[in-house]
Amino acid sequence: LAKTTQPISMDSYEGQEVNITCSHNNIATNDYITWYQQFPSQGPRFIIQGYKTKVTNEVASLFIPADRKSSTLSLPRVSLSDTAVYYCLVGLRNSGNTPLVFGKGTRLSVIA
């Protein structure tokens, strides 16, 4: 299983761009990288998924270098409502054969 390492916490001011990096040195060839957001007492919510290079949606961008041993979630112009825990998840897309390992996540605090 590809384990992930993320910073435990980050602080940012409103309006700034936030980049959260996830390390996954033993990522397998078929593994995808997925990020989830979780607010207190709620279930995690899907943000973005990618395999290589760059993926962008209306919420975030995901940057994956050529060696795929790390990835960076970029949140543009964060607001107070982006305060949450962000999880990096590495595994087979729709893997039913192996457990999905979430890790401990990064707690982002956005300050006014």
Q: Which residues bind other proteins (CB under 8 A)?
A: 32, 34, 36, 41-46, 49, 87, 93-94, 96-97, 99-105
DSSP string, 3-56: --B--SEEEEETT--EEEEEE-TT--TTEEEEEEEE-TTS--EEEEEESSEEEE
Task: Give least dist CB 110 to other proteins, A.
Answer: 21
Using the minimum distance from each CB to other proteins, give the nearer residue, 44 or 63. 44
Query: Could you tell me if 87 and 30 are in contact, meaning their C-beta atoms sit under 8 angstroms apart?
Result: no
Task: Give least dist CB 5 to other proteins, A.
Answer: 12
Using the minimum distance from each CB to other proteins, give the nearer residue, 38 or 83. 38
